[in-house]
Amino acid sequence: MRARQGDVFRAQIAPKIGFGASRDGTQLVVVAQGNALNSVLETIVAVPLVPTAPGARALPLDVLVPAAELGTDRDHLAPVHLLRPIALSRLEPGPVARVSAATAGRLLAAVRRVFQ
């Protein structure tokens, strides 16, 4: 299986990072790593997705991912400060969604700001 930048997968992440992991230990993640590396590595660099909560405050680098792009009933936040590598073997088969080009652009811009 090969992932593409902007794909959204359900991943087995242990230990749980932040909020948003389901009872079965999986969490939605969006692939931030570029496709050139995705084609040769057995890992990806991804950002976890966290369901929004009423009244919750987003951090300055959090990127909103609309529910319509994920096929979910709630918007999610991508907290880019939680960027992490994940082995392909920890991803469930096939992406569950793909973020729009506009959302992917905001996500990558936020990732760049993490390292400035």
Q: Domain map of the chain by residue range?
A: 7-114
Which of 2.30.30.110, 3.40.50.80, 2.102.10.10, 3.40.470.10 is the CATH number of 7-114? 2.30.30.110
The closest of 41, 38, 56, 32 to 115, measured between CA atoms, is 32
Query: pLDDT in tens for each of the 116 residues of the chain?
Result: 789 999 999 999 865 555 555 556 789 999 999 999 989 999 999 999 999 988 777 888 899 999 999 999 999 999 999 999 999 999 999 999 999 999 999 999 999 998 88
Q: Residue 64, SS3? A: strand
Task: Using alpha carbons, select from 36, 14, 35, 34 the residue that is nearest to residue 25.
Answer: 14
Output the six-digit token pair for 82: 């939680």
**Can you tell me the distance from the alpha carbon of 79 to that of 112, in angstroms, rounded to the nearest whole number?**
13
> What is the value of pTM for the model shown?
0.89
